[in-house]
Amino acid sequence: MMRVLVTGGAGFIGSHLVERLLGDGHFVRVLDDFSTGKRANLELVSAGAAPGRFELMEGSIADFETCRRAVEGIEGVLHQAALPSVPRSVRDPIASNAANVDGTLNLLVAARDAKVRRMVQASSSSVYGNSPTLPKHEGMPTNPRSPYALTKLAGEVYARLFFELYGFETVCLRYFNVFGPRQDPSSQYAAVIPKFTFALLDGEPPEIHGDGGQTRDFTYIANVVDANLRALEAPKAAGEAMNVAAGARTSLLEMLGHIQDILGTTIAPRHVDSRAGDVRDSSPISPR
């Protein structure tokens, strides 16, 4: 049994990590401020936990003392807490920086001091920016195009420095457009798959920013969970940042077509202006 802290455990990805860790018999503590996460997610995934195996701490990673308490007695940290949206960061870069950069630094310092064995942190394919070079591989230069992407890159650089300067083991995982159950369709910052699906189910035209030809590598949540658990253990991963992706390039229009086929509907999309900070092509595989 391992003692694991999941920050952002009430969110989409975090709640899947909690579910898997509890299912595998580990002790899980969640630190979440419920800014975008949901209590219902945690109630669902912790319902069957053995007594004493699950703890919830409500609080923000932006507070150092909270981070210090959260890492007490912890062996591994899976750090998911963040304000995860590009448009939100364009609108309010200070809030994104406080949660994503200050919060990550607080956690790194607290985890290092508490002698946590390793911290795995959620990064993002957005750190590559709009470079036309495909595939987007770990060796290429980063070029963040939004405050959100910059916060993720800053978190990565801090993580690498903590490994190099203090020998504290960190691993950063660059997720590419994760999808799956419990992804929130309702917020204005929602991801496209739940947004398209719920619009079609409601008989509404799904909204596409731009021409819909922009491509993404849609990555199923179970693969992201696996990547996190492996990153906690793999000896050579310490100090690294690596892609977590499915390896398929799909345009938004193609994705909409797949969802329409599944739901048996042909409602046409409504095209609206492109969003500031959005990337045209994001894939770790070569162009077609």
Ligand X SMILES: NC(=O)c1ccc[n+]([C@@H]2O[C@H](COP(=O)([O-])OP(=O)(O)OC[C@H]3O[C@@H](n4cnc5c(N)ncnc54)[C@H](O)[C@@H]3O)[C@@H](O)[C@H]2O)c1
Name the site residues for ligand X (rule: CB under 6 A). 7-8, 10-14, 31-37, 60-62, 80-84, 99, 103, 122, 124, 175, 177-178, 191
- C-beta closer to ligand X: residue 223 or 267: 223
Task: Quote helix, strand, coil % in the chain, to nearest 5.
Answer: 40, 20, 40
Question: What per-residue string of b and e applies to 211-247 under the rule 16 or more CB within 10 Å gives b?
Answer: ebebbbbbbebeebbebbbebbeeeebebbbbbbbbe
Smallest distance from ligand X to CB 184, Å = 6
* Closer to ligand X by Cβ: residue 143 or 267: 143
Least separation in angstroms between residue 36's CB and ligand X is 3
* CA torsion angle 230 81 60 54 (round to 10): -50
- Adjacent-strand bridge partners of 30: 6, 56
Angle at 159 between CA 154 and CA 162, to 5 degrees: 125
For residue 6, the SS3 value is strand
Which SS3 state, helix, strand or coil, does residue 4 take? strand
- The tokens for 270 are 């409504």
Minimum CB separation of residue 165 from ligand X in Å reads 23
In order of 19, 58, 89, the CA distances from 98 in angstroms are: 28, 17, 11
Find out whether 53 and 24 touch, Cβ atoms under 8 Å: no
Nearer residue to ligand X within complex by CB, 8 or 277: 8
Handedness of CA 281, 194, 37, 273 (dihedral sign): positive
Give the 3-state secondary structure of residue 232.
helix
- Contact between 241 and 170 under an 8 Å Cβ cutoff? The reply is no
Nearer to ligand X, 116 or 227 (CB): 227
Shortest CB 62 distance to ligand X, Å: 5
CB of 273 to ligand X, least distance (A): 22
Nearer to ligand X (CB atom), residue 122 or residue 237: 122
Q: How far is the CB of 266 from ligand X (least distance, A)?
A: 27
Cα–Cα distance between 78 and 196 in angstroms, integer?
Answer: 29
CB of 193 to ligand X, least distance (A): 9
| Nearer residue to ligand X within complex by CB, 2 or 184 | 184
Distance CA 128, CA 141 (A): 7
- Between residues 77 and 235, which has the closer beta carbon with respect to ligand X? 77
Alpha helices in 167-220 (DSSP H): 192-201
**1/140 with CB nearer ligand X:** 140
Shortest Cβ 103–ligand X spacing (Å): 5
Report how far residue 160's alpha carbon sits from residue 75's, in angstroms, rounded to the nearest whole number: 19
